[in-house]
A and B are shown apart, each in its own frame.
Chain A
Amino acid sequence: MAKITFDGVEVEVPDGTTILNAARQIGGSIVPPAMCYYTPLKGSGGKCRACLVRVAAGSAKDPRPMPKLVASCVTPVQDGMVVENTTSEQVLNVRKGIVEMLLINHPLDCPVCDQAGECDLQNFAFEHGVSTTRYQEERRTFEKIDIGPLIQLHMTRCILCYRCVYTANQITDNRVHGVLGRGDAAEIGTYIENIIDNDFSGNVIDVCPVGALTDKTFRFKQRVWFTKPVNAHRDCPKCSGNVVLWYKGKEVLRTTARKDQYGEVKEWICNECRFEKKETSDWTIEGPAHIDRSSVISANHYELPVLNQSVIADLPESTQRDLEKNPPLKLGS
């Protein structure tokens, strides 16, 4: 066991736990954001740099601070480690920089993007970003690609987190897509236009933190915050059959895997459950799925659910005036 101090809170975790997972045991607003790390996927993490934290003391044995910020999702804890996240000005500044970097080539087409409302990048930018950009150059764009009849790849939105690559590696027996090219020309692709034909391929949609991989059976049907999530299950010969159905009225618009509070899939589901079973009669309904109060899905309308006090000053004046009139649900720190 190793005892670490994270943002002033002490926590004891088994050896080999990453700093991020130790912070998740504490929970709350001090948990660093993670855009590429995904607990169920071995080897993921370290790429987006959103979770960088400052290690003020390396361990009890060697209490020197680490020279650089470290990616909390891949750095294991050491006994006596002291980590600063929200308490470090440097970390917050760097995180602002990371948002900026992730957004410079992102199309910011949230108004027409199916992921809006449950998008990791949107949440991350909302909490840590600024409302203006210093980037004047042309953004990189790609053609939309249909990878099979059920999934669409819109590479322009991709932040190259590699989650879908790891998913295909680890839960299917044959990966046909991967990262091609290098630098900001890198893209997810199948090289020669290929379809991803696998019973579990739909899971890449769930792991995608942005709207780069979308469910073609749900595209443009409805904004997610107008749909109601309901837990349901069925006897499925391929997967666990535990899913969330997203209803609009009596209609099941989409089916996804169940996710935990950090947006990570609990159990992978098969394509049959995801794309084909869209009748209530196919399922045994368990009840409404829990949605975090801070989520726009819970707010059910597109309002500021949690507002980071520190970003208010960066907002346009008109928005600030609106905020004074209609205060948000709660103010984050």
Chain B
Amino acid sequence: MGRKLLTEHINVEGINTFEVYRKHGGYRSVEKALKTMTPDEVVEEVKKSGLRGRGGAGFPTGMKWSFLAKPEGVPRYLVCNADESEPGTFKDRQLMSKLPHLLIEGMITSSYALGANTSYIYIRGELLYVLRILEKAIAEAYAAGFLGKNILGSGYDLDLHVHPGGGAYICGEETALLESLEGKRGNPRNKPPFPAVQGLYARPTVVNNVESIAAVPVIVNEGGDEYAKLGVGRSTGTKLISACGHLNKPGIYEIELGLPVEEFIYSDEYCGGIWKGRELKAVVAGGSSVPILPKELILKTAAGENRLMTYESLSDGGFVTGTMLGSGGFIAMDETTCIVRNTWNFSRFYHHESCGQCSPCREGTGWMEKVLHRLEHGHGHMEDIDLLVSVAKQIEGNTICPLGEAAAWPVAAAVRHFRHEFEWHVTHAKEAAQPGAVYRANAVLV
């Protein structure tokens, strides 16, 4: 099994308490950073590590940090995006509930690097129990002198707050998150200005995913170069993958980037193959918003190379034959899965979660959902399939925030790779409308 950087001690009894966490080497990075490094040196290490944002977009964290505007006399903020609500992604929840101090340690070190004296963890409203765990851990950290005034005698002050959202998916978008944190309706903002210039309370702000921040202590402790040795090419380090769906062993795995997808699905070390001895049909590799890929394309790229769990390999072939690593929500579907029904289900989610601010997303998500509902329930027409593609295209790229794309991509990809199933739903409408009906490859299309 590959090296574990984040979850090494996750199963240690009492690791959620300060003492046990400290005994296992916790908070070393805070000591190291505050006592021996300047903030810029910490940023430099993160840059060297090649760490890429773990929330889905994969933007290099060090570069994001270096974009932060630093006007004199103006406070800056670090906000941790713990509003994990992408269907299929559940890594942050586990990381925070088992290792709350790892996130807090990362927040302290990162805030120091960015020169933030107040930082926030914006947590999804449904994760109230995790909020309690974090609040307890923060209280412990304050008591131990790792938070508050003059941390470890270094003269650096930091206040850390946890703030629960109301449970809206859209508040995972960074500017909507900031609006929500300010106490407003969680509508994404128009960009520019970007949060690095005008973020929380119109101050320079960095928003990072939980996993990105949790990787910072490791990078500071071991050095960015050491971290960059793990992984392949520009995909460095380890990544938490939350595997779910029709797998023998669904769960959260910390993998070294570069692991072949085939090994991840079939090896006993990881997911242990498809359940009940069935065939794999399709995989959504990075949370519900990335394009779905059929078995042939997820295991091998269009060029016939092995598909690896890296940002580059998964997106090889663009959206025609590739997908994205996204947030690491790995959903495997076996041969009994109806792709149309699944797409409708995803679409229903985005329809429900669209904030309604900009017209293509507000109207388009609902339209796609209704057309997919019709197709799934046997009332579709052949034109509907092209209509779906066309509506998806009208949304994609024309919205304020990426939710529009997140809604459009899965639909467009499902039609691209499984068009025959959509057609079957039209030609065999009655059959397809039965509960549990699934298109089989050997069925004859009329």
> Do chains A and B stick together as partners?
yes
Closest-CB distance, A285 to chain B (whole angstroms): 41
**Secondary structure type dominating chain A contacts:** loop
Given contacts A49-B399, A74-B190, A101-B394, contact A179 B356 (CB under 8 A): yes
**Contact A97:B398 (CB < 8 A) given known A47-B357, A184-B354, A185-B356:** yes
Whether the Cβ atoms of B367 and A135 lie closer than 8 Å is yes
Q: Which residues of chain A have C-beta atoms less than 8 A from B190's C-beta? A: 45-46, 71, 74
B192: min CB distance to chain A, Å: 7
Docked complex Cα distance between A75 and B394 (Å): 21
| A160–B356 CB distance below 8 A | yes
| Chain A residue at minimum C-beta to C-beta distance from B399 | A49
Q: Is B360's beta carbon under 8 Å from chain A?
A: yes
Q: Are B360 and A47 in contact (CB under 8 A)?
A: no
Q: What is the distance, in angstroms, from B291's C-beta to the closest C-beta of chain A?
A: 18
Give the contacting residue for A183; candidates B351, B387, B390; CB below 8 A: B351
Does any Cβ of A come within 8 Å of B416's Cβ?
Answer: no
B365 at the interface (CB under 8 A from A): yes
Instruction: Kindly state the interface size class of chain A when it binds its partner.
Output: 35 or more
A69–B399 alpha-carbon span in the complex (Å): 9
A134 lies within 8 A of chain B by Cβ: yes
Q: Which of A44-75 contact B (CB under 8 A)?
A: 45-50, 52, 68-69, 71, 74-75
Which residues does chain B contribute within 8 Å of A76, judged by CB atoms? 192
Is A184 a contact partner of B356 (Cβ separation < 8 A)? yes
The 8 Å CB contact of A100, one of B185, B356, B394, B397, is: B394
Measured CA separation A261–B387 after assembly (Å):
37
Contact assessment for B357 and A49 in the assembled complex, using a CB-CB cutoff below 8 Å: no
Q: Does A137 belong to the interface (CB within 8 Å)?
A: yes
Chain A residue with the shortest CB-CB distance to B381: A136
Residue B362 at the A interface, CB < 8 A? yes
Q: Are A98 and B398 in contact (CB under 8 A)?
A: yes
Q: Is A252 an interface residue (CB 8 A)?
A: no
Query: Are A101's CB and B192's CB within 8 A?
Result: no
The reply to whether A104 and B363 form a contact with Cβ atoms under 8 Å apart is yes
Which residue of the partner chain, among A49, A135, A178, A179, contacts B359 with CB atoms under 8 Å? Answer: A49
Q: How far is the CB of A46 from the nearest CB of chain B, in Å?
A: 4
Chain B residue at smallest Cβ distance from A160: B356
At the interface, yes or no: A145 with Cβ under 8 Å from chain B? no
Given contacts A45-B190, A182-B355, 18 further A-B contacts (CB under 8 A): A47-B400, A49-B399, A68-B397, A71-B400, A74-B190, A101-B362, A105-B366, A134-B387, A137-B370, A160-B357, A178-B185, A182-B168, A182-B354, A183-B353, A183-B365, A184-B366, A185-B356, A186-B362
Q: Which A residues lie at the B interface, using CB under 8 A?
A: 45-50, 52, 68-69, 71, 74-76, 94, 97-98, 100-102, 104-105, 134-135, 137, 159-160, 162, 178-179, 181-186
